[in-house]
Every structure is written in C-alpha cells, then in structure tokens.
Amino acid sequence: MNLKTVRQTAREKLKGFCRVCPECNGKACAGEVPGMGGMGTGASFKSNVEALAGFRLNMRTLHGVKKPNTQIKLFGQDLKTPILGAPITGGKFNMGGALNEEEWAEAMIQGCLTSGTLGSTGDATDPAMYKAGVEVVSKAEGQGIPFMKPRELEEVLSFLRHAEEARALAVGMDVDAAGLVTIPVGPKTKEELKAIIDNTSLPFIIKGIMTVDEAELAVEVGAAAIVVSNHGGRVLDHTPGTAEVLSDIAGVVDGRIPVIVDGGVRTGVDVLKMIALGADAVMVGRPLIVAGYGGGAEGVALVIRRMTNELKQAMILTGCQSLEDINMEVLF
C-alpha cells in the first residue's frame, strides 16, 4: 500500500462528498456541508490552511541534532508522536456511507495505535454513532478518546457512562458544535461544564476553544486539556485560522493543562509550526478521512508515519532534539 493507491481508492469511495484534491485547502468544496467542505464561503476552512502557510521557518544546520525524539506523554500514555486522530463520525451524512460507523472508527483507532499514537471517535445526529465509536475504543482496551456533542445534560451524563465503561483514556466534548440544527445541542455555561466534569472520573477535554477568555474558563472548570479548533471551518464562517489564535491561548494556559490544536495540519512541517506556536500536540482530521477510506487502519497508520517522519526531518533542519526544544525561535 502507498499514498497514491490510498488516494485513488478514497476518491472512489468518497465520490460526491470529497474530491481528494491534490491540496486540501477548502477552495473547491466551499459551502459543501454535508460533505467535507467549509461552512458558507469556506473562509474559516481556508483560514486554517492559509494561517499555517503564513509562518516560515528558520533553518539551522550547525548543531548536533541527528536523531530527534518526537515522543510525548499524554493522558498517562507514552506516545511516539504528537500527532493524534481527530474526532470524526463517518456514515452517509458527510462521507457517503462507503464505511459504516464501526468500520470507520476501527480504521481510525487501530491506525493510530499501530503508529504509536491515539485516535478519537465522534458523535452525530444518531446517538448510535457515538456508541459505535465507544465500542471500538472498548475493544481497543480503552486506547482511544470518545468525543460527544454539547447535548442536554441528561444525555451527556449517559454518554459519559458509556466512555467510563469502555475504560477510555479520556473523554471530550466538541463545544464548537453548539450551533448544529440536526441535534439538540447548545452552548455550555461555566456552571454546566463544571457539573459535567464533576460527574466523570475520566480526564475531560474541551474542544473548540478559539479565544483566551474561554481557554481560561476551561482551565478554571477543571478541563484536563483543550483543543484549539474552529471545527475544521464547518460551523461558523469567517473565523480566524487556529494558528492565528494559538499563541495567545497557549500563553494564557501557561502549561497548566495540555493545549492541542487542529485545523489545516497537512504535513509534519505544519506540526512543527503548531508546536512552535505553543501546542503540545495536534489533531488531524481530513487527511485521515482520506487515509481511512482509502486504506483502512493501514492507510491511517501510513499517513501518521509519513507526517511523523516529516516532523523529524523538520526538527533536524531547525535544530530541535525534542518537542520541548520547538519554540518561537524556530519561526522566522
């Protein structure tokens, strides 16, 4: 299996939902939701990619870095790479249904585990989709992170119990999905978040943070980590790219909890940039959709290993022995 065959297969299986473009930048699929495009004009999706592209790197080669270390410890696990799989649901709504929810979740979770990292499962209109993902995490002995939408409290508590029974490493909520009209969801107050976090024994991740005030609030209510994310540009048109807001958010969090980021990450060089801007780890979405539909778990692992190797090469060429060495001095 190679990337070319993975992309060819994915193009057939995702036909009508994703073109598997040579460059995944949101231009060809603007407004295509359902599908893999961005909301409205697609500006938020495009901003993610453009914001990352706007940062350039300082190349340094007069040093002793020859075998950089990409390992990271997260949620008690020693991972080989800071590249995680983002929470995504499969099915007919956004991807055409060539894989059912369990098949898709299996590709994500097992592909990530094979490459030494963690994958996530998602939530959608039908609660059965969340439960299918949790079942896959359970079969993987809890080595995965289920994410739920910001549903009503009673349903959230039920979803938490499912994640706990699966012995998941952590559980999360896509708070940035608060505006979806196909599910009974909504914004969460500080008090509501505190009640949710106090009702689970699992580390709780808040995904969808785009401002410093909400990052501070997430720390205050006891979140175990945050994900800086605009939901891949799929919920609100005209937001900034995540790379534009990451540095300020990481600054206010100041190491108290891990800061994860997604949005426009396509290569290991992008990963290096995000870490330089303050992220502890990144999540990857669309590239792993293509990988999973085109090659299952093997395809997902192939892409993560490629990006990790690109990260190592970029670390060599910027003089970074470990992830801790990657800082703003890497950026031009």
Mean pLDDT by 10 residues, the chain (332 residues): 96 95 96 93 98 98 98 96 95 86 96 98 93 98 98 96 98 94 91 97 98 98 98 96 98 98 98 98 98 97 98 98 98 98
- Any idea which residue has 């439960």 for tokens? 131
Residue 22 lies in a domain: no
Q: Which domain holds residue 102?
A: 3-17+29-330
Residue 149 lies in a domain: yes
Instruction: Give the pairing type, strands 72-74 and 204-209.
Output: unpaired
Residue 23 lies in a domain: no
Residue 143 lies in a domain: yes
Residue 182: predicted pLDDT: 79
Q: What sign has the CA pseudo-torsion 74, 76, 81, 87?
A: negative
Q: How many domains are contained in the chain?
A: 1
Residue 316: predicted pLDDT: 98
Residue 138 lies in a domain: yes
Residue 120 lies in a domain: yes
pTM for this predicted structure = 0.97
- Region of 231 on the Ramachandran plot (φ > 0 left; ψ -120 to 50 alpha; else beta): left
Residue 92: predicted pLDDT: 77
Instruction: Give the pairing type, strands 77-79 and 72-74.
Output: antiparallel
- Region of 72 on the Ramachandran plot (φ > 0 left; ψ -120 to 50 alpha; else beta): beta
Question: Residue 268: which CATH number?
Answer: 3.20.20.70
Residue 24 lies in a domain: no
Residue 58 lies in a domain: yes
